[in-house]
Structure 1
Amino acid sequence: MSLAHWPRTTTSLWRVRAAWIALALVAVLYCVHRFSGPSPLETNLLALLPATEANPVAEKAVDQLANALGDRTVFLVSSRDAEHAKAAAKRLGATLQASGAFASVTAELPPFDIGRIGALYTPYRFGMLTRDDRDALTHSSKKSAASLHDALMQRIYNPVRGPLATQLAVDPFGWLEHWLSDLPLATSNLDLEDNMLVAHRGDTTSVLVVTTLNGSAYESRVQRAVLSAAAQAETSLHAAWPDASVARAGAVFYAESARRASEREVHLIGIASACGIALLMLWVFRSPRLLLLGFMSTALGIVVALAVTMAVFGKLHLLTLVFGASLIGEAVDYSIQYFVVYLGAPRNWDAKEGARSVRPALSVALATSLLGYAILAWAPFPALKQIACFAMTGICVAFASVMWLLPAMLSNGPKATQRRLFARAAVLLQRWQRAIGGKRSWAVVVALVVVCAPGWLLLRSDDDIHLLIQRDPALVAQENQVRDAVGIDNTAQFFVVQGATQDVVLERAEALGAKLDALSGDQSVDGWRSITQFVPSARRQADDRALLARHVFADPAALRATLLQAGFRDDIADAWIDSFAQAQTQPLTVERWLATNWSKPFSHLWLGAVDANGQRGYAAIVMPRRVTPQNLHALIATASATEGVVFVDKAASVSKLFGEYRVDSAIWLAGALLLVLVLVMTRYRLRGGIATTLPVLLAVGVTLAAFGYARVPLNLFNCLALMLVLGVGANYAVFLREGCLRDGADLGAVWTGVLLSAATTLLSFGMLGMSGMPALKSFGVTLTLGILVAVLLAPIAMPNEGRQHA
């Protein structure tokens, strides 16, 4: 609706109010609808991070590992009495199962015929040789008969046989048994006792209880059910066995902790900033009505922003929610500027003229704020894009409500004004402007540059992602306890092997494994996990079969004599020799292995069919057991030297991207400052544009110097917060200069409004500095310091004569 045709009749006023009520109802009902179903809150920390791997298959590997581990929770029941630990674990498992919060609970393993493992490999046994057996056969050449005899005698008279022992008639030389013994089935420090997974550390016995969730670990419904069930089960356990302790690990516990902390911060920041803003506005305006209208405008912006963000992104990240609570201080700024004009107006108040008088200042302020948030939207981080969408929607709605809704609600003039307060503010402004404004402004600029320069030289950066993600220390301690007892593999850093076919992938994984085995000393990885340890490549199986054909079965008569001399019956010796010719010549395949139940704990090692850059292929994961700063460069070099192999380190990739975008943000900030300068110059001309931009430019410089002097390393979130310092801090200089340009404006009222706007913004964004989320804390500290300096230097933007045109 054009301000030139503003409705004057009561009917028209009610139409405007009704339209805004309808908008609010639609937004509120949509939010209620979304929160009444599955929670739209996103508590997955990985959702905050961008896709960092240039190879999309590597990103798929990261997601697959996260999903494979995300739906599992682990409970470790420990006691110095082994029987108590086992009994307590059974009680815990039974209680958890009865709760209905889990899809499955495993405290006692079901009976398993370990012979099924041997049964899978027996038909393919002539293509399954360990590296030691392969080397022994390769180097036996001229001494074949003697070597085979020695191997046969050792096999017959070896008293030590493992659980995967094979029958002499099927495997007389023990090659299959050696292969089975080398299978990495023991992926942990756990032993099987009484059908339970048990670890012994010193005089402590620990029993593992594994569960799978009924849904996503990041759904609040699942989190509440799991936490309730775990609490009840642990209470029941401690009542029966006070000496038993329980440690737990799983994504669901971290997600619930993050959700709870964020909700607490939303309430703290929202309530504290709202109460502080309310008290300030009551003190300045002395009008509960204006207070309610200001919060009504802000509430409209926030609820519409919530609805739009959920509609656009589907999910609402907790980071966005916490940041949204701090938007109160910025959104209320527009209302404050309107109220200042309203209170300074005569009895014959004209709502149309009031809105028209603040429109230029609010339009420039809106443009600068939108510019700052738009730059956030360009950042590759999903949560930052959400924050930008939320903030841009919120401040646009708040601006529109000031332009159209508030005039419809304030059609009558003010009953009382704050002339005394405004007069004092005018005196304060005049004195402060004389001290830093006019011709002295350049001296202020030079002085600040001289003071800040050493701080700029001391600036350092630290882009480590771990510094920006804070986890509950109690949960970390429990997870470490579980890891120490179980000895699980590293899952954060691994290799991804790709190829056009399955066999190519397996061959490349075998080549990678050989190179990893060759690493020694500090560069050693202490072993690795790969699907090739369960399914060799077709070429490897064929080579093993050919090796046996050359060195064992080339002379059937001599082989038969060796077997008979060792005591084998004729029929058994003949049957085994004949089995080589009749054995399965087709190689064991990945699909055949995956079809077995016992392969499930290792299935994440096979990514299967993938689509990379439009080309279909296959991929697998190779996981080193030990990755340290000492061997990291060797692992990266090994991957680079092996065709089709990439080394994936999600945390390092994100940290690297943080650094790249932190550097880029300096360019963005410079470009944004130039755009703001051009924007204000179109209204205030060259000198006026420079004077209006100087305060926020100096605010950015002082903030950076403060970080340098404090030896606080910069990260991406500090730099992105400077964008908002630019977007929000520029408003104060604009408000003051517009007040000087506006005929009949009370500069005391304008300065009061500027200080109140800054105070409300500091109350809201400043509260972010107290956040437990390091990323938000970086935002809050940077914004607080930058905005404080920007408002103190805002009088520099005033014309020399206080009230004159630019």
Structure 2
Amino acid sequence: MQPTLHCWLSPKTAKLRFAIWLTLLVVTALSGWLAWQSGARIQSDILAMLPKVSESPLTQRAMAQVEQQLANRIYLGFISDNEQAAIDAAKLAMAKLQQGNSNSSSEPYLGSGAGSGSASNSSPFIDISSADMAQAGALNSYYFKHRFQLLTEEQRQQLQQGNWQQLTQSALEKLYNAFSYANSELISRDPLLLYPDSLLSLAPSQQLSVKQGILIANIAPSAASPKPQYAAIVMAKGRDSAFNPNAQHAQLTALDNALNAVTSQHSATSSQANSIEIIKAGALFHAAAATENAKREVSTIGLLSLVGVITLVWLAFRSIMPLTIAVVTVSSSMLLAVVATSVIFGELHLLTLVFGTSLIGISIDYCFHYYCERLNNPQDSSDNIIKHIFTAVSLALLTSIIAYSALGLAPFPGMQQVAVFCAAGLLGAYLTLLLAYPVIAASPLKDASRALNLAQHYQAFMLMRFTPSSQAAKLLLALSSSLFIAAGLWLLSANDDIRQLQHTPIEIQTEEDQLRRLLSGGTDNQFLLVSGATEEQVKQQLEKLEPVLQQAEQEQLIGNHLSLTRFLPSQASQQMNYHLQADIYLHHLDSIVAQLSLDDSVKAKLVADYQAGNRQFINADSFFSHQAGLSFKPLWLPAINADNSRDQANTEYGAIVLLGGIKQLDTFAALFDGNAHIKLIDKVGDISKVMGHYRQLTLAFLAIALIVAGLIFTMRFGNKLAAVVIAVPALSALLTLASLGILQNPLTLFHALALILVFGIGVDYSLFFAESKQQTRGVMLAVSMSAISTLLAFGLLAFSKTPAINAFGLTLLLGISFTFLLSPFIQNFTRKSANVD
């Protein structure tokens, strides 16, 4: 290998290598341009990073439908002491949202009735609504023809007990009530007025009222607001994902226009009672905050890291040339990283850029090692310097790529992007060193012996002051270190909650919590999936589930629920209700007609209608194809084998039960243990479990990577020195974990991923000290500059507001610091005399 390397790195091939490097840059830039022209984009959707959870086809369909139903929805609350002012504000906001970002008027939404609308084509919102005034009419239109299959629980009990006379008396009271809904047409078709009560029972109970087509929530007086207040609720759904940057901008613009119009209209009044407070909730506001935070951190961290590195290079070398070469190295590294990621994934995640800013502090290491070696050997040519450091740099690249490959094993597309981004970036820096440095970095350096001497003095100080001289001192150091590590690991806990992926500003969370309370708990991410081999089996399971859920509400395990059971009673229940009403229409109709003073001519029609209603069952197909059932259709999962397949063994129907205000998830979940037909779907919990699994897997991979690297180094250095080289990053990882435990910082997947990089970077430091043997002055300066530049980048990540990035940065801040402090002691195993250099 050495003769081939000698020929390739000879001065004769310098211009050829430089030409190859320029060609590589041009091809890379062209590939990047083509990728972006072909649709590559910046991705800010935090959900795109989430791990993929393996679920059954029915569960996957259920999660997809719930996400589609709830995704991109926003909720607005207009709060005022004056109820009319709140209603007017809600109406104005709805009108402005329907107009969107244009001046065109909105078109009415014919399908949802008053209080609900679809926006104009220019509006980024659809389904802009408050109260759906047409729903009651649609339900009446559908269920009246099925009235003989419907009974309330109280009506059913009275008919089972034969108390038809009590029902007759109740009908008389309703008939002569001045505020009754009864009329001659209804009485002639439903003499005991059973149907209206059945229709009313379909409406879910809630604390909201409807005024002028607007949902109104009453807010009781409090210390902050001694007068009662009214909140008008408006809901809308984004036309596109709130995590799409363009859609997000359009939605925020339209929303700002609408809210500004509300504020302007109500700011003119001098009455304090008419003032409007606006609260908001929805994924849009979380996404906007995350996007703004990520952009701010990308610009701040990247800029400060770059400025810090440039300052460091200038202070060390006092020359513009190393500074220029450092910028060229970082730029070519970032170019290859961005293009490779864009070409492979078709997009570049914002979090990839945040994590990728650390590449600045790593890729420039090659520049540091090259120039520090030149300072230490000023008489050598550029090609000879590269030959000196070639083995160490190549091994460093290999171990770094091994480290970054561990990121690629994570179940996060964003982390896989980080792996490709950083590996490609380091490869770019490595190729720049080999191909371009002999031409662009051939100029001699000014004397910088001061920096070399400082590095030498620092290393000598560390070796003399902190190297134990006696067996007792060595034993004490080993014991104290072991105690520190043991105590820290004992205190270390784990937290795999995926919500740490995103930082939510407290004001956004406060408003969302307030709106949830106004909406009686809202809807949570968890839901129940009820399954069965037939439609009837699912309906019966829903009926059995209903009393359990009602009891859970009474015990405050959940706040509310929405189930299809009241809209889709089982065929068995419908048949029972029909037969119970035979007591009315076939056995006692004469008495009932006489007591209600009805004309005898209605009897024949009533009997005929009753007999015609036999087996006219309410079923899913007819209900969901009717206007009454359209809004509930996402809660139903038709049979998976909807084709003509004869295999019925795997046919499954399903129904989704939405849950709100869950307070004791574990206790609630235990209610369904052992029931194969009811499953609590907790995507957050499932993904968190996957994260925990991959956290353990990543730590296991770290141990494997240490062993593999140790085997590779054994072939180069021998058993003893290879063990020492590996011991530095291994001990650094243990000290980092112990520090996290003492700092009460729970271990997450992101800490584990960062430890992989601690290993990759730490091995680099160890390698250069092991390769340098006695000539460590230049290596110490290069490692110092590398550590400082890396700490600049990762230290800044530790101040990120996003918990995941903070965990990543804090781990690297600790790990690189420990590695920097430990790596110089490798010379104790390589030197042949007591003198350094």
- Whether TM exceeds 0.5 here: the answer is yes
Which residue of 1 is the match for residue 448 of structure 2?
Answer: 418
Q: What's 1:179 paired with?
A: 198
Pair 1:5-2:8 in alignment: yes
| Structure 2 match to 1:733 | 766
**TM-aligned CA distance change 1:128 to 1:688, over 3 Å:** same
Aligned amino acid, residue 392 of structure 2? A
Q: Distance in 2 between matches of 1:69 and 1:148?
A: 42
Corresponding residue of 2:751: 718
Match of residue 227 from structure 1: 252
Residues in 2 aligned to 1:677 and 1:801: alpha-carbon distance in whole angstroms: 17
1:136 and 2:161 matched: no
Q: Which residue number in structure 2 is paired with residue 627 of structure 1?
A: 662
Distance of 2:767 and 2:153 partners within structure 1: 76
Any conservation in 1 of the 2:532–2:538 contact (CA below 8 Å)? yes
Could you tell me which residue of structure 1 aligns to residue 829 of structure 2? 800
Q: What amino acid maps onto 1:576 in structure 2? A: L
From 221, 226, 235, the equivalent of 1:210 is 235
Matched residues in 2 for 1:161 and 1:739: separation? 97
- 1:559 deviates by 2.7
Percent of counterpart pairs with the same letter? Answer: 26
After TM superposition, the structure 1 = structure 2 runs for residues 159-308 of structure 1, keeping only pairs within 5 Å, are 161=180, 167-185=186-204, 188-202=206-220, 203-242=228-267, 243-308=275-340
- Give the drift of 1:681: 1.8
Q: Per the alignment, do residues 69 and 610 of structure 1 end up closer, same or farther by CA in structure 2, a change over 3 Å counting?
A: same
Deviation, 1:161, is 4.4
Aligned partner letter, 2:251: V
How much does 1:159 deviate? Answer: 5.7
Match of 1:29 among 33, 39, 45: 33
Aligned to 1:577: 607
Deviations 1:755-782 (A, max 9, x none): 1111111111111101010011011111
Between the aligned partners of 2:240 and 2:732, the Cα distance in structure 1 is 48
- TM-score between both structures, scaled by the size of structure 1: 0.90
Matched, 1:374 2:405: yes
Q: Is the 8 A contact 2:557 2:668 kept in 1?
A: no
Matched to 1:123, the amino acid is K
Aligned residues: 786
- Distance across 1 between alignment mates of 2:52 and 2:411: 8
Secondary structure of 1:205 counterpart: strand
CA contact (8 A) 1:560 1:574 kept: no
Q: Indicate the residue corresponding to 1:791 in structure 2.
A: 820
User: Are residues 85 and 39 of structure 1, via their aligned partners in 2, closer, same or farther at CA, if it must alter by over 3 Å?
Assistant: farther
Residue equivalent to 1:335: 367
Where do 5+ consecutive residues of structure 2 fail to align? 102-121, 221-227, 268-274, 643-647
Is the alpha carbon distance of 1:91 and 1:777 closer, same or farther for their aligned partners in structure 2, counting shifts above 3 Å? same
Alpha-carbon separation, structure 1, partners of 2:500 and 2:185: 52
> Is contact 1:508–1:643 with CA below 8 Å preserved after alignment?
no
1:688 is displaced (CA, Å) by: 0.5
Question: Is the alpha carbon distance of 1:110 and 1:716 closer, same or farther for their aligned partners in structure 2, counting shifts above 3 Å?
Answer: closer
Structure 1 equivalent of residue 508 of structure 2: 475
CA pair 301-76 structure 1, distance change in 2 beyond 3 A:
same
Distance between the aligned counterparts of 2:125 and 2:530, measured in 1?
33
| Per-residue deviation, 1:152 | 4.4
Q: Distance in 2 between matches of 1:646 and 1:241?
A: 48
Q: Secondary structure at the match of 1:639?
A: coil
CA distance in 2, matches of 1:480, 1:611: 41
- Aligned letter for 1:133? Q
How far apart, CA to CA, are the structure 1 residues paired with 2:649 and 2:763? 47
Q: Does 1:751 align with 2:786?
A: no
Instruction: Give a deviation string over 1:64-123, Cα, whole Å, max 9, x none.
Output: 323322232222222212222222233333333332443447467686384332120122
Cα 1:165–1:601 change in 2 (3 A) is farther
Structure-2 residue corresponding to 1:769: 798
Contact 1:96–1:105, Cα closer than 8 Å, also in 2: no
Hey, what does 2:146 align to over in structure 1? 124
SS at match of 2:79: strand
Contact 1:166 / 1:174 at 8 angstroms: preserved in 2?
Answer: no
1:217-616 mapped onto 2 (5 Å cutoff): 217-242=242-267, 243-347=275-379, 349-351=381-383, 353-410=384-441, 412-436=442-466, 444-519=477-552, 522=555, 525=558, 527-549=560-582, 551-553=583-585, 556-583=586-613, 585-610=615-640, 615-616=650-651
Secondary structure of residue in 1 paired with 2:296: helix
Does residue 40 of the first structure (1) align with residue 36 of the second (2)? no
CA 1:373 to 1:576, structure 2 compared with 1: closer, same or farther past 3 Å? Answer: same
> Which residue identity does 2:314 align to in structure 1?
L
**Compared CA separation, residues 527 and 576, structure 1 to 2 (3 A):** farther
- SS of the equivalent of 2:529 reads strand
The Cα shift of 1:168 comes to 1.8
Query: Partners in 1 of 2:493 and 2:660 — Cα distance?
Result: 34
In 1: Cα distance, 2:829 partner to 2:184 partner:
95
1:778 counterpart = 2:807: yes
| Secondary structure of the corresponding residue to residue 75 of structure 2 | strand
SS of the residue 2:381 aligns to = coil
Q: Is the 8 A contact 1:519 1:525 kept in 2?
A: yes
Q: CA deviation at 1:146?
A: 4.0
| Mapped partners of 1:439, 1:136: distance in 2 | 95
Instruction: Determine if the alignment matches structure 1 residue 79 to structure 2 residue 80.
Output: yes
Q: Which residue identity is paired with 2:340?
A: V
Q: CA deviation at 1:479?
A: 1.8
Q: Which residue of 2 aligns with 1:115?
A: 137
TM-score by length of structure 2 reads 0.87
Following superposition of structure 1 onto structure 2, how do residues 680-719 of structure 1 map, counting pairs within 5 Å? 680-719=713-752
Q: Deviations over 1:516-559 (max 9, x none)?
A: 3355753654553112221223333233323434x445xx2533
CA distance in 1, matches of 2:819, 2:779: 16
Considering only aligned residues, what root-mean-square deviation do their CA atoms show, in Å? Answer: 3.1
Q: Do the aligned partners of residues 182 and 638 (structure 1) sit closer, same or farther apart at CA in structure 2, a change above 3 Å counting? A: same
Q: Which moved more, 1:188-197 or 1:682-691?
A: 188-197
> Residue by residue, what CA displacement relative to the aligned partner does 1:376-418 show, whole Å, maximum 9, x if unpaired?
22222332222222222222222222222333433x3414342
Q: How far apart are residue 578 of structure 1 and its match?
A: 1.6
Q: CA deviation at 1:249?
A: 1.9
Q: CA offsets, 1:584-619, max 9 Å, x none?
A: 624222232223334344333224444899945332
Cα offset, 1:263, TM superposition: 0.4
Q: Greater CA deviation, 427-436 or 127-136?
A: 427-436
Larger deviation, residues 221-230 vs 458-467: 458-467
Alpha-carbon separation, structure 1, partners of 2:237 and 2:556: 36
Select between 752-761 and 209-218 the one with higher mean Cα deviation: 209-218
* Cα distance in 1 between the residues matched to 2:94 and 2:183: 29
Q: Which amino acid aligns with 2:654?
A: A
